[in-house]
Structure 1
Amino acid sequence: MKRIFCTVFLLGIVTGCVEDKPRPEGNLEVVPLQVVNHSFEAMEVINQQRKMNITVKHHIRDQDVYVECYIPSFTFKEKGGKKVEGEGHLQLSVDGKVVEHIQTAAFVIRGLEKGAHTFEIEVVHNDSTSYELKKSWNATIQ
């Protein structure tokens, strides 16, 4: 019993003193933070580098286009109201014409005519000023 205890103890010491720890593979992104307010209980920080992006996926079924948008750290609100950073809605254009203001991340464009169409989604603030964030694509309705 004493021999087993000594073996486990020595094994613990040997494995615990390893300095070559594995590092995660892949690209790491370090984002600088700025301290806004601090206390002994909590510290509030903000991201100095607010990089907003949009990912759009679409699927065509018959004459309908199913669209799904992903915008990290964004809250969908109805058109109108104060300009609040991180809030707003989508402005949808089809063939260069604004057709709808959308307040959801997923939606369907129904009843399109057959042929080639150009779609554009622009992310806008509540007061309809642009975030300068757009995504466009082409699709053909059969």
Structure 2
Amino acid sequence: MKWFITAFMIVVLLCGCVEDKPRPKGVVEAAPVQIEDLSNEAVQVMTQSKERTLDVSYHVKNQNVYIECYIPSFQFAESKKGQTQGEGHLQVIVDGKRINDIYTAAFIVKGLSKGTHQIDIEVVHNNSHSYSLQESIQVVVK
């Protein structure tokens, strides 16, 4: 009986030690890169300059519109002075009437009457100069 258990353990260990392990799908093989010593030379480094975008998602529930804005590399700030790049807030216009400035990525437009409404969202600097990022959405309140 001891011989059978020992043999079983050896088989289990040998089966577990295989070279061909499963690889996750969608993973690209990466080849190593030869690195040269460039300590005495200037090297050009490129940064990823991603154009700023505004992605808006929303949901209508009763007379309220729940809105969430995604702006990569942007920070909401309440400061009224200066024009710091990458900082600012949102200006929201509902049916042609400007409502309060918004300093968060998610907010709620409350108490809309039944019918179709136009909501315009614009990203602005702290001093209210435009980033030239805006989105208009039409919502239907039932």
Runs of 4 or more consecutive aligned structure 1 residues displaced over 3 Å after TM superposition: 45-50
Gap change, CA 1:46 and 1:89, over 3 Å in 2: farther
- In structure 2, how many angstroms separate the alpha carbons of the residues matched to 1:23 and 1:72? 29
User: Structure 2: any 5+ residue segments left out of the alignment?
Assistant: 1-18, 20-27, 31-38
Q: What pairs up with 1:54-133 in 2 under 5 angstroms?
A: 54-78=54-78, 80-133=80-133
Based on CA coordinates, which of the two structures has the bigger radius of gyration?
2
Could you tell me the TM-score, scaled by structure 2's length?
0.66
Gap change, CA 1:46 and 1:111, over 3 Å in 2: farther
Note the alpha carbon deviations across 1:109-130, whole angstroms, 9 max, x for none.
1011111100010000000000
- Per the TM alignment, residue 81 of structure 1 is displaced from its structure 2 partner at its CA by 1.4
- In structure 1, how many angstroms separate the alpha carbons of the residues matched to 2:113 and 2:79? 28
Note the alpha carbon deviations across 1:5-55, whole angstroms, 9 max, x for none.
xxxxxxx9xxxxxxxxx569xxxxxxxxxxxxxx9xxx9x77474410011
Gap change, CA 1:105 and 1:127, over 3 Å in 2: same
- In structure 2, how many angstroms separate the alpha carbons of the residues matched to 1:97 and 1:79? 23
User: Structure 1: any 5+ residue segments left out of the alignment?
Assistant: 1-11, 13-21, 25-38
Note the alpha carbon deviations across 1:59-118, whole angstroms, 9 max, x for none.
000000000110010000115111100000000000122112000000111011111100
Could you tell me the TM-score, scaled by structure 1's length?
0.66
Gap change, CA 1:96 and 1:23, over 3 Å in 2: farther
SS in structure 2 of the partner of residue 53 of structure 1? coil
Q: What pairs up with 1:12-51 in 2 under 5 angstroms?
A: 22=28, 47=47, 49-51=49-51
**Corresponding letter in the other structure for 1:94:** V
**Corresponding letter in the other structure for 1:69:** C
Task: Please report the RMSD computed on the Cα atoms of aligned residues, expressed in angstroms.
Answer: 2.6
**Corresponding letter in the other structure for 1:99:** I
CA contact (8 A) 1:79 1:128 kept: no
Equivalent pairs: percent with the same residue? 46
